[in-house]
Amino acid sequence: TQLLEQSPQFLSIQEGENLTVYCNSSSVFSSLQWYRQEPGEGPVLLVTVVTGGEVKKLKRLTFQFGDARKDSSLHITAAQPGDTGLYLCAGANTGGFKTIFGAGTRLFVKA
Amino acid sequence: GAGVSQSPSNKVTEKGKDVELRCDPISGHTALYWYRQRLGQGLEFLIYFQGNSAPDKSGLPSDRFSAERTGESVSTLTIQRTQQEDSAVYLCASNWGQRNEKLFFGSGTQLSVL
């Protein structure tokens, strides 16, 4: 069974601080995705990483896929209150279709 | 439709009753997923439909849970003899079934079992 572990589970920081969220597994994934979910809504995709070692940037967010395609990280620079939400990593199995999710990191950014 | 639609948005039921949750995927999407999200938790995979292939039911937690999908249209998730531990948000997602493709989610059905 493929599992994704996210850490930390909860993070409360001040506006302007930097943070990193981790997503780890013992399994190899075809791709890893990061989603953000707000209360009462379904998750919305932030990024997909496919190639081992790949780094993608989305404004203040930097995503990295591990060389062995087993782990990923999300780094946020100068966090803002609007970044508050649940961040979920999701991995597609080696076929690239069935997607499983980690337990999420709940981020709270205080003004 | 413009997005994935789920109904009802909220469902309150008594322990032991059966419930049906509905998902209307984006038109043309061949793949459809159901996930369960307990309060403050991540998404737990339940079942995956891809076109006319046999569904992947590996995530269904017990035989009280079942799901159907007719062709590439609506899906229903049925929970029989509901238990309090079934209380959660049930999320549906769909996509075109391409490799490494993103999922488009509905807003979920909040199920509360009293």
Residue-wise DSSP of A53-79: T-EEEETTEEEEE-TTSSEEEEEESS-
Closest CB to A98: pick one of B41, B44, B56: B56
Cβ contact, residue pair A42, B33, below 8 Å:
no
Q: What is the pLDDT of residue B98?
A: 85
pLDDT in tens, chain A (111 residues): 668 999 999 999 999 999 999 999 998 988 899 999 998 899 999 999 999 999 999 999 999 999 999 999 999 999 999 999 999 999 987 666 788 999 999 999 999
Phi, psi for residue A67 in degrees, rounded to 5:
-55, -35
- Percent of chain B clearing pLDDT 70 (strictly above): 99
- Percent of chain B clearing pLDDT 90 (strictly above): 80
Q: What is the pLDDT of residue B40?
A: 82
For residue B85, which amino acid is it? E
Q: What is the pLDDT of residue A2?
A: 67
pLDDT at B100 over 60: yes
Q: Is residue A82 classed as helix, strand or coil in its secondary structure?
A: helix
Q: Is residue A83 classed as helix, strand or coil in its secondary structure?
A: helix
Cβ contact, residue pair A44, B105, below 8 Å:
yes
Q: Which residues contact A46 (CB under 8 A, 6 or more apart)?
A: A33, A34, A35, A36, A58, A61, A63, A74
The pLDDT tens digits of the residues spanning B43-64 come to 999 999 998 888 999 999 999 9
Q: What is the pLDDT of residue B2?
A: 80
Interface of B with A (CB under 8 A): 4, 31, 33, 35, 40-45, 48, 50, 56, 91, 93, 97, 99-100, 102-103, 105-108
CA–CA distance, B94 with B33 (Å, rounded to integer): 6
CA–CA distance, B21 with A8 (Å, rounded to integer): 33
Question: What is the average pLDDT score of chain B?
Answer: 93
Interface of A with B (CB under 8 A): 6, 30-31, 33, 35, 40-45, 48, 50, 88, 90, 92, 95-104, 106
CA–CA distance, A60 with B17 (Å, rounded to integer): 48
